[in-house]
Amino acid sequence: MRRILTLLGFAAAAALVVFSLLGRARLTELSDACQALDAEIALLEEENTRLLIEHEAAFSIGRIEEYAREVLGMQSPASGQIIYIEGGAADWAEIPAETP
């Protein structure tokens, strides 16, 4: 009887060691996956920053004006073509006059 209890104790201890090792292996696997995801997040944040800068450059007022002048052949209105309208204390607008 004592021998059986000793064997059961060793079996339980061995099972605990095995489960502990399996848990440690799973923990290491998950830790590696987290590190890989952190690296991917860092790359995506860098790409997002680059794309935001590219977007802002593409839609800057200066670039739009340059495109309008050089590609579309547009030009600024002459001083006689602008009419100012009073719209209140804080509001104002510029409306180009019609060309005769």
In this prediction, residue 30 has a pLDDT band, given cuts at 50, 70 and 90, of: very high
Structure tokens at 79: 């001083």
pLDDT tens, residue by residue, 56-78? 888 888 888 999 999 999 998 88
Q: In 3-state terms, what secondary structure has residue 84?
A: strand
Q: Per-domain residue ranges for the chain?
A: 1-45
pLDDT-derived band at 5 (thresholds 50, 70, 90) equals: confident
Averaged over 8-27, what is the pLDDT?
91
C-alpha–C-alpha distance, residues 51 and 72, integer Å? 26
Exposed e or buried b per residue across 29-56, where buried means at least 16 C-beta atoms within 10 angstroms of its C-beta:
eeeeeeeeeeeeeeeeeeeeeeeeeeee
Q: What is the pLDDT of residue 38?
A: 96
Supply the pTM of this predicted model: 0.49
